[in-house]
């Protein structure tokens, strides 16, 4: 009964699995991170409850992550430029690939989406850079 419809489902399995792999990897990363943070806080809580001194290494990890987060969140005008250039390159690459694969077809226009996203990000980068430049 199920195998009667396998011809309909099989072409969709590869794209579905291809999309699920990065989702599962991201979830595993964040779940592992949350688990280690939970263990660290539980250890600190147990040491405090027992009246033991808390090793500086445990607190340094928490403080270092706060420092890295603050440093990462600082306004860097070039943080938008790299994704802009990547999107422009991907868009041009897709347009070239589809135009070569099927000349005269509309498929080349698929590359317009990442291309325009990249152009939009590049324009945003240019405006942001102008606004952050020191005014005399």
Report CA Rg, the chain: 25
pTM of structure: 0.49
Q: Which of 79, 98, 89, 77 lies closest to 117 in space, CA to CA?
A: 89
Residue with tokens 């590359």: 111
pLDDT (tens digit, 9 = 90+) per residue, 2-57? 566 667 677 777 888 888 899 999 999 999 999 988 998 898 899 889 998 888 88
pLDDT (tens digit, 9 = 90+) per residue, 53-73? 888 887 776 666 656 666 665
Helices and strands of the chain, counted as H and E runs: 4, 0
């Amino acid at each position: 009964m199920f195998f009667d419809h396998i011809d309909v489902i099989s072409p969709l399995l590869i794209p579905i699995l291809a999309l699920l792999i990065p989702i599962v990897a991201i979830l595993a990363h964040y779940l592992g991170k949350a688990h280690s943070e939970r263990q660290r806080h539980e250890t600190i809580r147990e040491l405090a409850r027992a009246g033991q001194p808390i090793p500086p290494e445990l607190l340094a990890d928490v403080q270092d992550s706060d420092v890295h987060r603050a440093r990462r969140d600082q306004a860097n005008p070039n943080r938008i430029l790299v994704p802009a250039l990547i999107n422009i390159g991907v868009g041009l690459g897709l347009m070239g690939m589809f135009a070569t694969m099927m000349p005269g077809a509309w498929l080349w226009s698929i590359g317009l989406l990442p291309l325009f996203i990249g152009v939009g990000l590049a324009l945003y980068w240019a405006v942001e850079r102008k606004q952050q430049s020191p005014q005399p």
